Amino acid sequence: MSMINIETDKVVLDHGTGAKLSHDLISLITKTLGDAYVGQMEDSAILSISTGKIAVTTDSFVVTPIFFGNGDIGKISVCGTVNDIAVSGAKPLYLTLAMILEVGFPISSLMKIVESIRDTANEAGVKIVAGDTKVLNAGEIDKICLNTTGIGVFERAPLDCKAIQPGDKVILSGYIGNHSIHLLSVRKGLGFEKRIGSDCAPLNGLVDELLNSVPVGSVRNIRDVTRGGLAAVLQEYAQASEFSIVFEEKKLPILPETMMAADMLGINPIHLANEGCICLFVKPEEEEAILNILRNHKYGREAVTIGYVSDIKVPEVIMVQVDGSENVLEELVGATLPRLC
């Protein structure tokens, strides 16, 4: 195998042809992934599944900037997919990894991303079982796009968003808005990224510990608070349950620096994307036990109850403002921000 100098070489079209340069690049990627990769270089991965039901999700990732203060596109690609599997109630086991690369993309940067994928997959306890690499001419793609498909198994009954009931409490596992503000600050050179890190994290360990520690049915449903932010999640649940969901503005877990930056940019943190925050709907009698479990985990230390499901049979989201007045949130038609991921 010819050696690839990761300090000077860049991605070329022949890295995507399936010939020798493709094999060299794939070998470098799999070597870097180490024991996080268990594929056999066959056309299909052959996997062992021990249960009758599986969870499958797929997502594509285009992040600007691709590297940021405490993460990169590789970390996000693993976390985003692992978290989607976990909040369904399943245990994530396997990931596929597909890359679309722009000609000229530095191989040293690619290897840094692959190392991040490896480290995050190892933390989450998942294995990468298959992959694909394509190369496009300069200008046909913005540097790099990743796609990951996740497969998980159900060791318990799947969670169902229609299971939420009036009286259920709404809990957030941590701060909202930090991921979006961090990326926007890096883009715009605002300086907030030094004080506000992205919350990007694999949350399957947190979810698994919680579901194993409380009686079945205590957690009605869970959703990761990603694109569209908290407001989009609550709108989805209001529509699914056909009941109003009420939350208090003053209880929202928002860092002062995040609020300051959001005010400066003219945006509301409830619409901002997160990559390490989940929203939980739980039985009211289990609220305190669930909060204690979350707060004892490194990714749930800021967990807080923000509201409840009302018995009003109107599918809307109501925010109780700091002054006590109520405001019905309208569902956004489009994005309030440039695309972040």
Contact (CB, 8 A) for 7 and 14: no
E-strand stretches of 182-325: 219-224, 245-248, 278-282, 304-309, 317-320
Q: Hey, which residues does 246 pair with through a beta bridge?
A: 308, 318
Report, in this order, helix, strand and coil percent for the chain, each rounded to 5: 35, 25, 40
pLDDT at 265: 87
pLDDT at 9: 86
pLDDT at 100: 97
Per-position pLDDT tens, the chain of length 341: 345 655 558 999 888 888 888 888 989 999 999 999 887 766 788 888 777 899 999 999 999 899 998 899 999 999 999 999 999 999 999 999 999 999 999 999 999 999 999 999 999 999 999 999 999 999 999 999 999 999 999 999 999 988 999 999 999 999 999 999 999 988 888 888 889 999 999 999 999 999 999 999 999 999 999 988 999 999 999 999 999 999 999 999 999 999 999 998 888 999 999 999 999 999 999 999 999 999 999 999 999 999 999 999 999 999 999 999 999 998 876 655 556 66
Q: Fold for domain 161-329?
A: Phosphoribosyl-aminoimidazole Synthetase; Chain A, domain 2 (3.90.650)
Give pTM, 2 decimals: 0.93
Mark out the alpha helices in 88-228 (DSSP H runs): 107-124, 178-188, 204-213
pLDDT at 1: 39
Domain boundaries, the chain: 13-153, 161-329
Strand order in the sheet with 91-102: 54-61, 144-153, 91-102, 127-136
Q: Fold for domain 13-153?
A: 60s Ribosomal Protein L30; Chain: A; (3.30.1330)
Query: Cis before residue 65, ω within 30 degrees of 0?
Result: yes
DSSP state, residue 110: H
